[in-house]
Chain A
Amino acid sequence: MKLGFLVDLNLCMGCKGCEVACKVENEVPLSTWRLRVKYIDIGTFPDTSRSFTPLRCNHCESAPCERICPVSALHYLENGIVNIDNSRCIGCAGCMMACPYGAIYMDPETNTADKCTYCAHRVESGMMPACVVVCPVQANIFGDIEDDTSHISHYIMEHQGAVQVRKPEKNTQPKHYYVGGGTQALDPLAQERLEGYGLFNNVTHLKAIGDPHHSVLDRFLAPFESEEKYDNRSFIDFDNKEYKSELTEGDN
């Protein structure tokens, strides 16, 4: 059994339902993502088009992240999923440096690496990944690529010649396929990413890797400190005072 993923970009309408479902299912903290949908505008006005590209871990058969992980926190499951064991992760960020798809992040709450696992916990129980279930146009197709009768295998065979993977030259043998995507949608070098320019938000870079309030000293003191009230809001630039006063009032 080898589980794979296929996204038909001709169907994807950029609703970001998959992104939200993933966040909720896996409790992905703010400032990080396991699955994101990128909007790319192509062409010159008035001849323009917009493409939507969902991006997640490619669950490579020859995964550089698994190879570089010094403690095997990243490991293969029998079904081909590249899984991660956060309790073993030392937070060296080697996997983040190795993944050619930028699919791994440093969880700001646990300060360990994390990524899409194809919802391995759901798959184990016979369910589909959250992003597949929620997609209103069935653009996300998930299944066993070694089973010739599976939906994904049929889809790949029906679209032969139009099935692509990201960065095939890296020889990572990704198990995540795209149908209907051009170079401009799949190759980051074929897109311009202008800092501060965006449609609904400003395209930006993160200011910190992992928890911004986790200084070098905190990393050593953390095990000896009592557990504080943690909320995701502290990781973004909201005025947190209001929330803190709410908490205080609630306590009273």
Chain B
Amino acid sequence: MENTIHATQAIVTLDVALPGIIWGWMITLNMWAKSIGTGVILVGAFLLYRHKKEEMPNLRWVMPLIAFVALNVFLLFTLVDLHQPYRMINIFLHPNWTSAITVGAWMASLFTGLITLMMLIGGLDAFPEFRRNCNMAKKVRGMSPLYEKFFPFVVFLAIPVTLYTAIIMAEASARELWQAPAEVMQMMWAALLAGSSALILVSGKWSKETRKDLALVLAVATFFSFMMYMGEYFFSFKSAEAEATLAFVHSGGAYNVEFWFGMVLGFIVPFFIAVGHMKSENKTLLKFAALMALIGLYMAKDVWLKIPQLLNLS
């Protein structure tokens, strides 16, 4: 060893086994699903602002349904990742308000509750024959006007629910790669990317113009996400630990291939397809781009979550 290690370099010769990746694929899935859950609401609100409801006949129930499924996946994997899942209740019984995990859990629970109500109202209104004589269904149908009243608040709440994970990552001060300003923007772009992609997949019967807008959101989100990842990946953070993390990945270390697959599949290819769609419509190709974007987003998030955990802290 003495011939290959630089004279001034120190080598650890006796130590305990250190932990490897602590937050793994379940947290990636958690973040990815939350991006879809909040993203469909944000993008749905944008579509409702730009277009008439008649152009998107099923949006009223499809949007909260997608959000409901995605948010439940998010909540399920949040719970499953805990080593003591039943003690999740302590977040509500003994909250520590300086923790973004606590604030996020409260907001996400409220958000999911409202989305559940919107889904029930939207679904029962869209299918009036379903459970026609059921008392509960009648009550929910009676609450129909609440949907439109809740919606602006739900859209507003979707923003902090999207962003709080970035603050958790910022509070994880041992991992310098996760810088709050960059992560906040990444989370927002990820939500817009995932939301537009999910809505593209169900937009078959919607007007041409709405799909054009979805393609626009997808193109903008993939472009800025890609730019941010490139900036973070190649250029200095001016922090020793972040530099060391990136140097490891740059040198062909673990997750290098997954990262570039994510960049190409998730951002570059969907960007060009979405831009192409705005010029001449191709529904199938746009759906393919949406699917690619969702897969690529998962890969990019997975890499960014795991690589700083490869660095030994002590």
Do A and B originate from a single complex? yes
Instruction: Name A's B-contacting residues (CB within 8 A).
Output: 31, 33, 36, 38-45, 47-48, 50-51, 55, 64, 66-72, 88-94, 96-103, 105-106, 111-112, 166, 170, 172, 184-185, 188-194, 197-201, 203-207, 209-210, 214, 216, 219-220, 223
B23 and A68 contacting across the interface, CB-CB below 8 Å: no
Q: Please report which residues of chain B, range 3-24, place their CB below 8 angstroms from some CB of chain A when the two chains form the complex.
A: 5-20, 22-23
Least distance between B26 CB and chain A CB atoms (Å): 8
Instruction: Give Cα distance in the complex from A66 to B99, angstroms.
Output: 8
CB distance from B103 to the nearest CB of A (A): 9
Question: What chain A residues lie within 8 Å of B17 (beta carbons)?
Answer: 31, 203-206
A71 to chain B: which residues have CB within 8 Å?
A: 87, 90-91, 94-96, 102
CA distance A102 to B311 in the complex (A): 10
Query: Smallest CB–CB gap between B24 and chain A, Å?
Result: 9
B244 at interface, CB cutoff 8 A: yes
Asked if A190 and B10 sit within 8 Å, CB to CB, the answer is yes
Taking a contact as CB atoms under 8 Å apart, the answer to whether A97 and B22 are in contact is yes
B62 interface contact, C-beta 8 A: no
Which single member of A51, A91, A201 contacts B84 (CB below 8 Å)? Answer: A91
**With known contacts A64-B174, A68-B100, A94-B101, A192–B11 Cβ distance under 8 A:** yes
Asked if B202 is an interface residue, CB under 8 A from chain A, the answer is no
- Complex Cα distance, B271 from A9, in Å, reads 56
Interface assignment of B145: CB less than 8 Å from any CB of chain A: no
Of B11, B96, B313, chain A has the most CB atoms within 10 Å of the CB of: B11
Query: Would you give the shortest CB distance from A124 to chain B, in whole angstroms?
Result: 22
Q: Are B174 and A219 in contact (CB under 8 A)?
A: no
Q: Quick one: closest B residue to A105, CB to CB?
A: B19
8 inter-chain pairs at a CB distance below 8 angstroms, sorted by A residue, are: A45-B2, A68-B168, A101-B314, A106-B19, A112-B84, A188-B314, A198-B15, A220-B85
- Report A22 CB to chain B, min CB distance, Å: 12
Apart from the given pairs A45-B2, A70-B96, 19 other A-B contacts in the complex at a CB distance below 8 Å: A42-B11, A47-B7, A48-B2, A50-B13, A64-B174, A67-B99, A70-B95, A90-B84, A91-B84, A92-B83, A99-B174, A170-B173, A188-B313, A188-B314, A192-B10, A205-B19, A207-B20, A209-B20, A219-B84
**Least distance between B225 CB and chain A CB atoms (Å):** 23
CB neighbours (8 Å) of B83 from chain A are 90-93, 106, 111-112, 210, 214, 219
Which residue of A has the minimal Cβ distance to B169?
A: A97
Interface residues of B in 162-199 (CB under 8 A from A): 168, 171-175
What is the 8 Å Cβ interface bit string for chain B, positions 192-227, against chain A (1 contact, 0 not)?
000000000000000000000000000000000000
Q: Which of B98-113 contact A (CB under 8 A)?
A: 98-102, 105
Contact B95 A188 (CB under 8 A): no
- Is there an interface contact between A198 and B13, defined as CB atoms closer than 8 Å? yes
On whether the beta carbons of B12 and A203 are closer than 8 Å, the reply is: yes
How far is B5's CA from A194's CA once the two chains are assembled, in angstroms?
11
Do residues B90 and A90 form an inter-chain contact, with CB atoms below 8 A?
yes
Interface residues of B (CB under 8 A from A): 1-2, 5-20, 22-23, 80-88, 90-91, 94-96, 98-102, 105, 168, 171-175, 240-241, 244, 309, 311-314
> Is A94 touching B99 in the complex (CB atoms < 8 A)?
yes
Give min CB distance, A156 to chain B, whole Å: 22
B12 to chain A: closest CB distance in Å?
A: 4
Cα-based distance from A43 to B9 in the complex (angstroms): 6
* CA distance in complex: A193, B175 (Å): 18
B96 touches A64 (CB 8 A): no
Contact of B16 among A33, A48, A93, A199 (CB under 8 A): A33
Shortest CB–CB separation between residue A190 and chain B, in angstroms? Answer: 6
Q: Are A98 and B173 in contact (CB under 8 A)?
A: yes
- B173–A198 contact, CB under 8 A? no
Report which residue of A92, A111, A192, A210 has the largest number of chain B beta carbons within 10 angstroms of its beta carbon: A92
Within 8 Å CB of A44, what residues of B? 2, 5-7
Given A43-B7, A197-B1, are A189 and B172 neighbors across the interface (CB < 8 Å)? Answer: no
Pairwise interchain contact A36-B90, C-beta atoms closer than 8 A: no
Residues in A with CB closer than 8 Å to B1 are 197
Residues of B contacting A197 in the complex (Cβ-Cβ under 8 angstroms): 1, 11, 13
The answer to whether A201 and B101 touch (CB under 8 A), given A44-B2, A91-B82, A112-B83, is no
Question: With A and B bound together, what is the CA distance between A194 and B9 in angstroms?
Answer: 12
Assess whether B15 is in contact with A96, with CB atoms less than 8 Å apart: no
Known: A111-B84, A206-B18. A93 touches B23 (CB 8 A): yes
